[in-house]
Amino acid sequence: MTHQAPKGTRDFYPADMAVRRHIESAWRGASVRHGFDEIDGPTFEHLDLYTVKSGEGIVSELFSFRRAGGENDYALRPEFTPTLARMVAARGAALPVPTKWFAVPNFFRAERPQRGRLREFFQWNVDLLGVDTPGADAEVIATAISALEALGLRAGDVTVKLSHRGAVAGALRGVGVPDEQLGAAFALLDRRDKLPPEEFAKRAAALGAKGDLGGAIAKLARATAPVSSGLDALAADVGVPAAELGALEFLRDALRAAGIEEWCQWDCGIVRGLAYYTGVVFEIHAAGERAVAGGGRYDGLVELFGGPRTPAVGFGMGDVVLGNLLRDKGLLPTDGTELLPKPDVFVVAANDAASAQLPGIVSDLRRAGLHVRHSYKSTRNVGKLLGEAGKSRARFAVILGDGLAAGTVDLKDLASGDQRSVSLTELPTLLLAVSPIRAVGF
Amino acid sequence: MTHQAPKGTRDFYPADMAVRRHIESAWRGASVRHGFDEIDGPTFEHLDLYTVKSGEGIVSELFSFRRAGGENDYALRPEFTPTLARMVAARGAALPVPTKWFAVPNFFRAERPQRGRLREFFQWNVDLLGVDTPGADAEVIATAISALEALGLRAGDVTVKLSHRGAVAGALRGVGVPDEQLGAAFALLDRRDKLPPEEFAKRAAALGAKGDLGGAIAKLARATAPVSSGLDALAADVGVPAAELGALEFLRDALRAAGIEEWCQWDCGIVRGLAYYTGVVFEIHAAGERAVAGGGRYDGLVELFGGPRTPAVGFGMGDVVLGNLLRDKGLLPTDGTELLPKPDVFVVAANDAASAQLPGIVSDLRRAGLHVRHSYKSTRNVGKLLGEAGKSRARFAVILGDGLAAGTVDLKDLASGDQRSVSLTELPTLLLAVSPIRAVGF
């Protein structure tokens, strides 16, 4: 009998895990450089945490469950923001201002697996709470870009597409959409490409706008411009009123100050599916792929979860689309094992007496902090054993042989082939001095 | 309205997360030093992966579920070994010999939360497959000890309690337990303290042993001895036959060769609840606590999952009991935030002109690889801002002031108080040269 992983989930063998850790390491490095602290929450939450706030879009994709005989309904987390809002609300005023948090949790969506979408995936979440300035918006976007840069991507490879719900709302009000229908108009803009034309027209008509809503939405969907130029023309084109233009100008200035303007593009077709966004919304795209990341400002959400009124901006970046993109751009090794930590030293025994001493010597080197491997084969053929050492990608081989009785071993640099006799007692110090710093922390 | 985390799960605020990462970092460091490669599997598996192999002990504690309208039953993983066996079986002969894997997944058990037991917890798993020697047993035990040492524990703080199912089976056969009842006899030894005496006696009688099984089990439960001495006396006491003694002697020699003898103790009362162990079994205990870790040899399991016959030994170490132990021993800071990465530099603006340049300067320093924080306050009071810098635990403060026009800033060492004027263009190089290596990878 054989068993398989559930559909849409992954087994991470060492080569796969090394790629995942490579990506997570870039996420974590960017987070720490930008001053975010790591958090996490439970893998499953009470179901009502999601049913109450996130809208039906996510609820239909939940893995929800109830234990046999249990009283509570749970759901595997489909996103992080409700957990974050719950955690912020629970601590309330005891949290520092600003609160800068990141997380790298796994999430679950019960949708049909396809390219870029799995049922279990990892997602980097970055949130800056307590600051309502465009500088905070720019800071989280810069954090996302910093990770992408660390992974080898450049401004031409991906684009941060920005919009602003306030500015778009201004344009929609300009064609007579009533305030209470703005949410529905956003949803229509978001789903414009997924609806048949007659269905789109029917829904547009139902919103009761006095002006040409269909035309306004088509115009918004087409409206893109580099952030470095063209804001006034863009705003005039889609009808952003002067009162709303200031927010876009401040955002542009903040992106410029953070030095990330060239990565960014205005795109009034960006809406984001979730209902809770209130200001800037953005997605990071590479041509022809699903969004690598998406986020925005959600100033009202913490309050909805029972906390104090808290301005907030953040994003999520998933590992699946990003991994595909890095592979397509040649930014991941063909064999992920190249990303595994390299051994400092591979120890081989050239005779039976040496073999009896090998476990103790290996143990001493590991206790000194070195990454040590050894052969489990019974052969004493040094040539074969050095071949195994080379395959392990170790930097040095230590050969235990006749010199052991006098307290010496042979140390061989596996790159240069240089070999010399060294004292066994000095070996750990010697290897530590030439080994790279081992950064194996999480 | 307020929401709470599900019973038995945890919210990890930054101080909690820093403790979790501290523990995981010790686990990962020990794994890498000992030559194990990281893997992972899905968070949920098909339910039958657990119902078929692990015995009822675990199945009753599963969080299992089926999607509305779905056809498959799933379960949140309660342990790692079935996933590991499935992954090994899937690759079969394509895997290297030995295969040395570790993982740091989360697990789920639907039992009543209590001290040391939660419904979601993290567990380090270390497995060495393809080698059937006691040297492999000793190597995985040494890996566990290496992580505990890295966390500050010493041989007197915890004890590795070892037994051997083969040797204990020999003793049980010696009082006439038939081979087909050995599993039931192990279970009885395991549950000896949880059963009322009359129930224990009834179950013992049902096993059909000719000799005094109750007496033999009582003797096994009491049988402990240091590994460094007393093996023969212990074996004679509990009745390990000569044919089974060799395995214990080889194991003792391997523990001695690995230099971990002083951490270890024979304890014939150790059984382990899971059915699949075949040789050595061990638990790591501190006085008065649940086991910190447990494992053993499971030579038959991969084959049961459809793979080739594969000798294997491994263990799991959970974060909850270990965290309690470290706290009790004073080996964790009272405030976990002390374990968070320290900022390299905190940037403050002494006037409005400087404030306008702050985002760009902060951005340049981060792009150079530095961990940079700054104030979000509107005050230009340098004393107050330096107070905030100190609270951030940054090593240096950079003060942007009147010198900016001439391209200079003040660099202040926050520990010594030394302050000097430096060129803005040289600042990144200067800070990188004196900053500790940033090890922020996963």
Determine the distance in angstroms separating the CA of A370 from the nearest CA of chain B, rounded to an integer: 6
Contact assessment for residue B139 and residue B245, using Cβ atoms and an 8 Å cutoff: no
Residues of A in contact with B66 (CB under 8 A): 65
DSSP A292: S
Is the model's pLDDT at B329 over the cut of 80?
A: yes
Q: Is B90 helix (H, G, I), strand (E, B) or coil?
A: helix
Gyration radius of chain B over CA positions? 28
Q: Specify the amino acid at residue B363.
A: S
Mutual angle of helices B14-33 and B134-150, in 10-degree steps = 140
* pLDDT value at residue A381: 96
Distance in angstroms (rounded) separating the CA atoms of residues B196 and B36 = 44
**Per CATH, which fold does A14-328 belong to?**
BirA Bifunctional Protein; domain 2 (3.30.930)
Residues of A in contact with B65 (CB under 8 A): 63-66
Please list, residue by residue across B66-100, b when 16 or more beta carbons sit within 10 angstroms of its beta carbon and e when fewer do: eeeeeeeebbbbbbbbbbbbbbbbbeeeebeebbb
Q: Which of B366, B378, B400 would best serve as a mutation to test chain A binding (most A beta carbons within 10 A)?
A: B366
Distance in angstroms (rounded) separating the CA atoms of residues A408 and A297 = 65
What are A56's strand-pairing partners?
A: none
Contact assessment for residue B293 and residue B121, using Cβ atoms and an 8 Å cutoff: no
Determine the distance in angstroms separating the CA of A346 from the nearest CA of chain B, rounded to an integer: 10
- CA A410 from chain centre, in angstroms, equals 45
B1, B42, B101 member nearest A6 (Cβ) = B42
**pLDDT digit string, tens, across residues B236-260:** 999 998 888 888 999 999 999 999 9
Residue B353: in which H helix or E strand, if any?
helix B352-367
Q: Which of A56-70, A114-128, B147-161, B296-310 bottoms out in mean pLDDT, i.e. has the lowest?
A: A56-70
Do the Cβ atoms of B17 and A40 come within 8 Å?
yes
Distance in angstroms (rounded) separating the CA atoms of residues B346 and B362 = 9
Distance in angstroms (rounded) separating the CA atoms of residues B163 and A299 = 59
Is the model's pLDDT at B362 over the cut of 80?
A: yes
Q: Is A20 helix (H, G, I), strand (E, B) or coil?
A: helix
A407 to chain B, any CB pair closer than 8 A? The answer is: no
- Burial environment of residue B149 by CB neighbours within 10 A (0 to 12, 13 to 18, 19 or more): middle
Residues of B in contact with A37 (CB under 8 A): 14, 17-18, 340
Position with higher pLDDT, A399 vs B277: A399
Average pLDDT (B292-305) is 94
Distance in angstroms (rounded) separating the CA atoms of residues A202 and A183 = 16
Q: Specify the amino acid at residue A363.
A: S
B29, B37, B359 member nearest A258 (Cβ) = B359
SS (H, E, C) B73-104: EEEECCCCHHHHHHHHHHHHHHCCCCEEEEEC
**pLDDT digit string, tens, across residues B75-130:** 999 999 999 999 999 998 999 999 999 999 999 999 888 888 999 999 999 999 99
DSSP A89: H
Q: How confident is the model at residue B5 (pLDDT cuts 50, 70, 90)?
A: very high
Residue A22: in which H helix or E strand, if any?
helix A14-33
B45, B97, B437 member nearest A437 (Cβ) = B437
Residues of B in contact with A142 (CB under 8 A): 363, 366
Determine the distance in angstroms separating the CA of A222 from the nearest CA of chain B, rounded to an integer: 32
Instruction: Identify each DSSP E strand in A224-328 by its residue range.
Output: 224-226, 264-267, 280-285, 293-297, 312-318
B24, B258, B371 member nearest A32 (Cβ) = B371
Please measure the distance between the N-terminal and C-terminal CA atoms of chain B and give it in whole angstroms.
37
Task: Write down the pTM of the prediction.
Answer: 0.95
Do the Cβ atoms of A340 and B37 come within 8 Å?
yes
- CA A285 from chain centre, in angstroms, equals 14
Tokens standing for A194?
A: 């997924």
Q: Is B103 helix (H, G, I), strand (E, B) or coil?
A: strand
Tokens standing for A311?
A: 């301005």
Residues of B in contact with A89 (CB under 8 A): 2-3
| Contact residues, A window 338-377, toward B, CB-based 8 Å cutoff | 340-341, 343, 356, 359-360, 363-364, 366-367, 369-374, 376
Distance in angstroms (rounded) separating the CA atoms of residues A262 and A156 = 9
Residues of B in contact with A121 (CB under 8 A): none
Domain edges within chain B: 14-328, 342-434
Number of CB pairs, chain A paired with chain B, less than 8 A apart = 284
* pLDDT value at residue A276: 83
- What angle is formed at CA A25 by the lines to CA A19 and CA A30, rounded to 5 degrees? 135
Here the ipTM equals 0.95
Give the residue from chain B lying closest to A63, CA to CA: B67
- Output the average pLDDT for chain B: 92
**Spans of chain A below 70 pLDDT:** 1-2, 53-58, 68, 436-442
B55 to chain A, any CB pair closer than 8 A? The answer is: no
Contact assessment for residue B255 and residue B261, using Cβ atoms and an 8 Å cutoff: yes
Q: Which of A31, A36, A65 would best serve as a mutation to test chain B binding (most B beta carbons within 10 A)?
A: A65
Q: How confident is the model at residue B145 (pLDDT cuts 50, 70, 90)?
A: very high
Is the model's pLDDT at B51 over the cut of 60?
A: yes
Determine the distance in angstroms separating the CA of B64 from the nearest CA of chain A, rounded to an integer: 7
Share above pLDDT 90 across residues of chain B, in percent, rounded to a whole number: 79
* pLDDT value at residue B289: 82
Domain B342-434 carries which CATH code?
A: 3.40.50.800
* pLDDT value at residue B55: 58
Residues of A in contact with B14 (CB under 8 A): 37-39, 101
Residue A243: in which H helix or E strand, if any?
helix A242-257
Do the Cβ atoms of A106 and B43 come within 8 Å?
yes
